[in-house]
C-alpha cells in the first residue's frame, strides 16, 4: 500500500469519526431541548401517577349513609335504588373491566350508583371517576350502559300510555280531583334542556331564548307521572313535536295544552285573551290552567332532582338523549315509590317554559270535532 492510499484512508476515518461525533452531539442537544420544553408534562405525568383515589367509596362508605344522606347525595331514596337494582338485574347490564384495576370489574350496584351520581350532580367525569376509583373512560362507559339498559328495559314498563278503559278512567278521575274538565288523559308541554353547542349543525340547536338546547316534550298525569316523553329535536324547532296518534284517544278524551299547541280533536288549548273574552271563556281558561299546571310541576321536579338536566355536554347527542329519557324514567320510579322531592331539591327547580303566541286557535278555530270539544267541556263548568 503506497503512502497516498494510506493518507486517503486516514482522512476518510477522521471524517467518519467527526461525523459520528457530530450526530451524537445533535442527539444530546435534542434530548436536552425536549426536556426543557416538556418539564411540566413530565411532572404532570409523575404527579398523575401519584394522585390518590378514593378507595372503596361505593363499597365501604355509601352503605354507612343514613337515609337522609343517601337521598341528598344520590337524589333518591335508598329503597328506590334497591328497586332499580332489581329491575336492572334482569337486563344483563355488562360489567366493564376497570381500566385501573386490570381484571377487576364494576358490580351492578356500583354501576347504578355511578349513574345516579352522574345524573344527579354536575361534577366533571374526572372528579366523579376519582371519587369512585375508576378511570374516566370506564365511568363514561358505565353511564352509557346503564342509560341504555334503563331506556331499553325499564322505560317501556314504567313510562307507558294508559291503554285499558280502566286506566283511562283512573287518569281522568285524577284530573277531576284538581279541576272540573272531564275526560282528561294528560297535560302536555315542552321544556328546553340546556346543552353545549354540538359539533354538527350547531345553529339548529340555538333556540329563541338565545342558548343551545334540546327539546323535551312530555305528557303527565295529575300525580306528575310521565306517560309519554319525546326528545332529540333541536332547540330551534317548534315546541309542538308530536301530533300524537288518534287511536290513543277514544272520542271524548283529550290532552290539555297551552297556547303554543294547535287545537286538535284530542288536544284542548286556552282561548286567546285579547281583552274581549266573556265570563265563561275566562273561567274555562282558569280551569284548564289549573289542570295543565301539573306538567310544569313535573318538569320542575325532574330538573330539581336530576341536576344534570340543567346543563349537558353535547359531544355525543345519542348519549344525551338516552340520559334525558333515563332521567324521566327515574322520575317515574320515584313517583311510583312515593319517593318525595326534598325541599333542598325544590329550590333548584328550573322549568324554563314560557307561553308562546303562535298563530294557533285564533278565535277558537279548528276542526268541527275540536271546536265541539270546547262546547262539551264548557257544559261541565
Domain ranges of the chain: 57-158, 165-378
Q: What is the pTM of this model?
A: 0.79
- Between residues 332 and 201, the one the model is more confident about: 332
Cα 262 from Cα 254, distance rounded (Å): 13
Cα 145 from Cα 256, distance rounded (Å): 35
Residue 345 has what pLDDT?
76
Q: State yes or no: pLDDT of 379 exceeds 50.
A: no
Residue 10 has what pLDDT?
56
Q: State yes or no: pLDDT of 34 exceeds 60.
A: no
Q: Where are the alpha helices (DSSP H) in the chain?
A: 3-37, 39-50, 67-74, 78-89, 108-120, 125-132, 136-149, 155-158, 165-176, 279-305, 317-336, 343-346, 368-378
Average pLDDT over residues 211-221: 95
Q: Give the three cell numbers for residue 82.
A: 334497591
Amino acid at each position: 500500500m503506497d503512502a497516498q492510499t494510506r493518507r486517503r484512508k486516514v482522512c476518510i476515518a477522521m471524517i467518519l469519526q467527526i461525523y459520528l461525533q457530530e450526530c451524537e452531539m445533535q442527539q444530546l442537544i435534542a434530548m436536552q431541548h425536549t426536556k426543557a420544553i416538556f418539564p411540566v408534562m413530565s411532572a404532570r405525568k409523575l404527579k398523575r401517577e401519584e394522585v390518590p383515589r378514593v378507595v372503596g367509596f361505593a363499597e365501604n362508605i355509601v352503605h354507612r349513609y343514613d337515609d337522609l344522606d343517601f337521598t341528598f347525595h344520590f337524589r333518591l331514596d335508598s329503597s328506590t335504588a334497591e328497586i332499580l337494582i332489581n329491575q336492572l338485574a334482569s337486563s344483563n347490564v355488562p360489567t366493564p373491566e376497570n381500566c385501573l384495576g386490570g381484571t377487576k370489574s364494576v358490580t351492578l350496584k356500583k354501576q347504578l350508583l355511578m349513574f345516579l351520581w352522574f345524573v344527579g350532580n354536575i361534577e366533571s367525569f374526572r372528579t366523579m371517576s376519582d371519587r369512585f376509583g375508576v378511570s374516566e373512560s370506564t365511568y363514561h362507559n358505565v353511564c352509557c350502559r346503564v342509560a341504555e339498559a334503563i331506556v331499553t328495559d325499564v322505560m317501556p314498563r314504567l313510562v307507558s300510555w294508559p291503554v285499558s278503559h280502566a286506566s283511562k278512567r283512573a287518569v281522568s278521575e285524577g284530573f277531576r280531583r284538581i279541576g272540573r274538565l272531564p275526560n282528561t288523559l294528560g297535560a302536555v308541554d315542552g321544556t328546553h334542556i340546556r346543552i353545549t353547542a354540538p359539533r354538527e349543525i350547531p345553529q339548529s340547536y340555538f333556540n329563541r331564548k338565545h342558548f343551545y338546547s334540546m327539546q323535551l316534550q312530555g305528557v303527565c298525569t295529575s300525580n306528575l307521572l310521565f306517560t309519554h316523553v319525546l326528545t332529540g329535536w333541536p332547540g330551534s324547532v317548534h315546541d309542538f313535536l308530536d301530533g300524537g296518534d288518534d287511536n290513543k284517544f277514544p272520542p271524548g278524551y283529550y290532552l290539555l295544552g297551552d297556547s303554543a299547541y294547535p287545537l286538535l280533536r284530542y288536544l284542548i288549548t286556552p282561548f286567546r285573551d285579547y281583552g274581549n273574552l266573556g265570563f265563561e271563556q275566562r273561567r274555562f281558561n282558569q280551569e284548564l290552567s289549573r289542570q295543565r299546571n301539573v306538567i310544569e310541576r313535573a318538569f320542575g321536579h325532574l330538573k330539581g332532582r336530576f341536576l344534570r338536566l340543567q346543563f349537558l355536554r353535547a359531544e355525543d347527542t345519542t348519549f344525551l338523549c338516552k340520559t334525558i329519557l333515563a332521567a324521566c324514567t327515574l322520575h317515574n320510579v320515584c313517583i311510583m315509590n312515593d319517593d318525595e322531592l326534598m325541599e333542598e331539591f325544590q329550590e333548584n327547580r328550573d322549568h324554563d317554559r314560557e307561553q308562546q303566541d303562535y298563530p294557533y286557535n285564533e278565535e277558537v278555530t279548528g276542526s268541527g270535532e275540536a271546536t265541539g270539544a270546547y262546547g262539551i267541556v264548557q257544559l261541565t263548568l
